Chains A and B, each alone.
Chain A
């Protein structure tokens, strides 16, 4: 029991911003942190002492690094904390995290380490607001990342599986709650066959998700602005020299260009909404709508304006028209500094970056600002959006496997129903949960029930 009097469970997360930095830290906090840490290190951990160890998942050595153990209450969160410092490769950190979760940890929620630190009296009252802000900001970022990763095929497949499972549960629950009706619910169900099919589909989905084929990662940065403001030049400037272009991603829509790059060790996906012509026609309007949509789900929006056309006093209005303040974080760039006379100190509004994408003037400062701005959400979402989905798929798989075993063993219907509910709830973590009343609604609309 920690000092806050709150019995908590063991949580784990990557504590460093994502990217191929030199060192990555996987942090565990809560009861059992030491046991799990020692299992991963294969050796004993002493409080407040750095231990060099080979991090392993069973027999497999994943990496070598330093393990630190802080016994409660003398730790960041006030609970038992273990920090594993490994090489900063995303793959290694993901494997370490998986190994920790396989041993009873669960993925930390947004801001959860700070939350625990606060609840255990490790942060003072003045910091409470900051903790709350962090939770709010990171959960919003995580929600955006989840929305992105849920687009396309992954979402379709998960929705389809959840629907199949809902239909199956509908029949099983109807058979339990309405035994008097003259409908043989389970005759229609082929419960065993359905569960097997779901298991196969989940296995396939899990495999493909793991290879990163279906779920996006990284921080999304959208460049938006009026035509000819220099968005493409800025993209090139950002992606130039130091920044390594990782892949060229062909746009899923014709009017979007996406570039994956690593900036100061932070994986970024730049989305250029270039190609919009200045006209009033329908195509134009669709293009603008698409740009806005991108801006809504991005982690960071860079509003690019033409300094030669937009008066410094009109910046606010121009920005608000393009990216509403309640959306993601914004950076405002006044481009084409080289085409105007010096804006003068009076014209330098706060938070506005005056640059020239053509000459490179001011681009360095902008890069640092992007990395800073992205870092806040990055630490939380780099892995978790995808990892959380995978965790849910695993939970669903486990539950259905148990349902399958119990069905074969001839267990009673309500035991199988219990596992099916667990599995459905796990998929619900991705696509939205279905309440008992929703399920009853399915039964009543499908079958003529009642006297």
Chain B
């Protein structure tokens, strides 16, 4: 049957990318359909039950600044919040929350079900309708066809998924779900380059069988941070503690003795796993001199006793898993509730995408999330948001939004993927961002919300809260600029500084020893968050100005478009390698060409001259 209604945007997949994509498109007024294998698993956290972390909470804040779901859902589902890097500077400070899986799913589903313009339908997608290289619709398992203008594909690890436990393996998606084999075959027939990646999970453990009295306790932070700019700690459910334990030489002996039975080491796995998330067998082999490895025990939720022992992901057979788990302090009598496993899955080379996340091969088809070779809920959500926005913009006849590297971690993420591709599941780190000092969690709204309002992806409530904040911040900056600190005055006392002459407050604030606590005391009438913000901006002003110059140089190149008619093959003076990369990437601007690895200033000069010549002809 052909479904009678036409959709602007169809999102395939109900994970973190899919839900953000669907919600963003719908917020922008696009008639949106979310197709998922199972409505029950919408918003499922299929790996560890935590949101945020260094670099990742930066992405969450950016999603939030554009009125996305992840931060708001985390504030409703978070059962343990921590600020990371609290002792370091604000640019690298991050928030991490442990979330109750069920509460998180409920929060996401609730937000989606209350979203105008958004419909949800439970069916597996098995095929696309493509006419003359343009997407026209999708077909589901039961033969139902939907027509639409754009499709956002967010099938995560479901494509060609294969689960490994020891020497056994079977086709499968994450956490017991069915893989999308039919769709994988269909996609393999399209001109996309396909690669294979691998990731793993640890065995889950029943908390009733763990001796917590022997474990270190890690409590959440007080005052408790929030994820969303609209969030408050009052929304948070009951808070719980996490625990820490360690492997020991006995654990390592068990693993060493059974290495050949690990799917990883027997050669059964062809996919590449992440360097920053090694399996326990990998840790034991590669860092043999380390006598113990930390395990961070995360609660799966408030109403379950299941635990996620983060740090011992494995593809060893079940009997070995049980043996090494029981060698660990506190786990001596542990019952494993689900075995650990490694999963291999297909991903599509992100170099076949445009910066809008639209595929080069099929117009109107967007890829977002793990399908592009990334890992992590936050990375997936960020891409989903971007793809959803751009699918809606395409329907509106507008140019895509392509966030820049100096604007957002989303920009860094997409730019890295599209220029460099990836050969391991790509994860965000702050060290990937050359404009790290600007791309802070605390100013994500200042970087993106105004733009989001203009694009129509930000709702009225957030827009008004944002404008209130900005005007209050401006007032506060004005007060700071107008204030001099008099030696021996109460203000000097509150700031804890010893001055010998009248000094501008801004200059005093730039001293490393002056911290937010002192300034809050001095401006007791402003909110703490606002004072913190003003202080950060004052302290960083010099560095930001320096980066602004660098960015101005880059933007100069951004304005220089490279015509599609440019034939890189005939440009003398370009190396063959660069000719190939340029021909393949077809950078739209000189700035994008500059990001291609191996590009030299002389080569850029050549492109500039040839582009100008081409334009003059």
Contact = CB atoms under 8 A, between A and B. Distances in A.
Contacts of A182: 294
Given A179-B84, A180-B296, A440-B429, A139 B512 contact: no
A142 B296 CA distance: 54
A448 B276 contact: no
Given A125-B613, A413-B89, A448 B572 contact: no
Given A112-B605, A135-B606, A440-B429, A418 B274 contact: no
Contacts of A437: 420, 432
Interface stretch (A68-76, A89-97, A404-412): A404-412
A439 interface: yes
25 contacts: A111-B602, A118-B609, A125-B613, A132-B610, A135-B606, A136-B573, A139-B600, A139-B602, A177-B54, A177-B429, A179-B54, A180-B296, A182-B294, A411-B512, A412-B90, A413-B89, A414-B92, A440-B431, A444-B276, A445-B275, A450-B274, A450-B276, A451-B296, A451-B311, A451-B313
Given A128-B613, A177-B54, A436-B431, A6 B277 contact: no
Nearest to A447: B287
A180 B294 CA distance: 10
Interface in B264-307: 274-278, 283, 286-287, 290, 293-296
A111 B609 CA distance: 11
Interface string B413-429: 00000001000000001
B68 interface: no
B588 interface: no
Contacts of A411: 89, 512
A421 to B, nearest CB: 8
Nearest to A7: B556
Given A112-B605, A118-B612, A436 B432 contact: yes
B89 A412 contact: yes
A446 B429 CA distance: 17
Given A128-B613, A177-B54, 8 more contacts: A9-B553, A110-B602, A132-B572, A136-B602, A139-B600, A415-B437, A441-B275, A450-B311
A173 B125 CA distance: 43
Nearest to A416: B89
A435 interface: yes
A140 interface: yes
Nearest to A138: B602
A297 to B, nearest CB: 17
B543 A435 contact: no
A370 interface: no
A115 B431 contact: no
Contacts of A369: none
A177 B429 CA distance: 6
Interface residues of B, number: 58
A351 to B, nearest CB: 20
Nearest to B275: A444
Given A176-B54, A413-B92, A450-B274, A139 B48 contact: no
A131 B431 contact: no
B608 interface: yes
B581 to A, nearest CB: 15
A364 interface: no
A104 to B, nearest CB: 12
Interface in B580-605: 597, 600-603, 605
A161 interface: no
Contacts of B274: 450
B394 to A, nearest CB: 30
A449 interface: yes
B235 interface: no
A138 B605 CA distance: 12
Contact of A177 (B91, B430, B437): B430
Interface string A420-442: 01000000000000011101110
Interface in A117-140: 118-119, 125, 128-129, 131-133, 135-140
A8 B556 CA distance: 8
A414 B609 contact: no
B278 A415 contact: no
A436 to B, nearest CB: 5
A380 B418 CA distance: 35
B238 interface: no
A163 interface: no
Interface in B147-186: none
Given A109-B601, A110-B605, A136-B572, A451 B48 contact: yes
B278 A450 contact: yes
Contacts of A181: 294
B88 interface: yes
Contacts of B552: 7
B616 interface: yes
Contacts of A445: 275
A399 to B, nearest CB: 11
A140 B572 CA distance: 11
B89 A415 contact: yes
Contact of B54 (A8, A178, A421, A450): A178
A450 B609 contact: no
A81 B571 CA distance: 30
B55 interface: yes
B513 interface: yes
A135 B605 contact: yes
Contact of A176 (B85, B277, B310): B85
Nearest to B283: A448
10 A-B pairs closest in CB distance = A136-B573, A412-B89, A139-B602, A444-B275, A451-B310, A448-B287, A451-B311, A410-B512, A128-B613, A450-B277
A444 B272 CA distance: 15
A391 B287 CA distance: 41
A133 B84 CA distance: 53
Nearest to A406: B512
B454 interface: no
Interface in A56-105: none
Contact of B609 (A135, A142, A180, A418): A135
Contact of B276 (A125, A142, A449): A449
Contacts of B437: 414-415, 418
Contacts of A133: 572-573
A173 B606 CA distance: 35
B335 interface: no
A91 to B, nearest CB: 27
A161 to B, nearest CB: 21
A191 to B, nearest CB: 13
A411 B511 CA distance: 9
B543 A418 contact: yes
Contacts of B296: 180, 451
B605 A413 contact: no
B499 to A, nearest CB: 17
